[in-house]
Amino acid sequence: MNLPFLSLSAVRRLTSGIPGIPGTGAVALLAGLAVSGCSTFSASQSTAFLEDCLSDSADIIEKVDWDTVQPNRVRIVDNNYRPMVMSFEQGRPYTLVITNADPSSHSLWAPSFMKQGIALKSVQIGDNAPAMGCVNGVRIAPRSTVTLRFVPVWEGRYEMFDSGFALIPGQLTAGVFHIVEPRVGLAAK
């Protein structure tokens, strides 16, 4: 069964509205529901939200021997991403293994990072076959693992959110991805 991607906490935030201005909660809720119809998730499993990617990503990722790439690990515990801040070097391939140890689902939502910052090779949900393509975010089922394979392309700071709605005012950042210039000399070792 596909359900609109709008969490209970998001509904509570939307219905509270702007203090002192009657009716703004209902307007915000309707806007949130309208937007939530654009993205859905299956309540029983992890999913990826597909969108457009870097046009030249195939040229970047096809040169990589992915079997030699050592995994970097992120763990979600007590609604916190650990580590919260991650740095990646431009041009170096990465395998990011995200494990959700919580009893509830989490949505790693980082469209600017995933669509513009990296060339994404694949998203693998659990033991399923890797899905190719581009994503805005990944829904991680309770006590499951998602693996992202990518090459950072554009230097910068990219925020990630634990929600499908990164535009909700007052929403806190769950973590930050930094893409940095490649290290040279002794620093690269």
Domains of the chain by range and CATH? Answer: 1-43 (no CATH), 45-188 (2.60.40.420)
Of 176, 72, 184, 172, nearest to 117 by C-alpha is 176
C-alpha–C-alpha distance, residues 105 and 126, integer Å: 14
Residue 167 binned pLDDT confidence (cut-offs 50, 70, 90):
low
Per-residue pLDDT reduced to its tens digit, 38-83:
333 333 344 444 445 666 778 889 989 999 999 999 999 999 999 9
**Residues 103-144 pLDDT 10s:** 999 989 898 899 889 999 999 999 998 888 778 889 999 999
Residue-wise pLDDT for 76-95, tens only, equals 999 999 999 999 999 999 99
The pLDDT value given to residue 53: 61
pTM: 0.68
Q: Which residue has the higher pLDDT, 37 or 53?
A: 53
Residue type, 122: S
Question: CA separation (Å) from 54 to 7, 38, 95?
Answer: 29, 21, 18
Helix, strand or coil for residue 144? strand
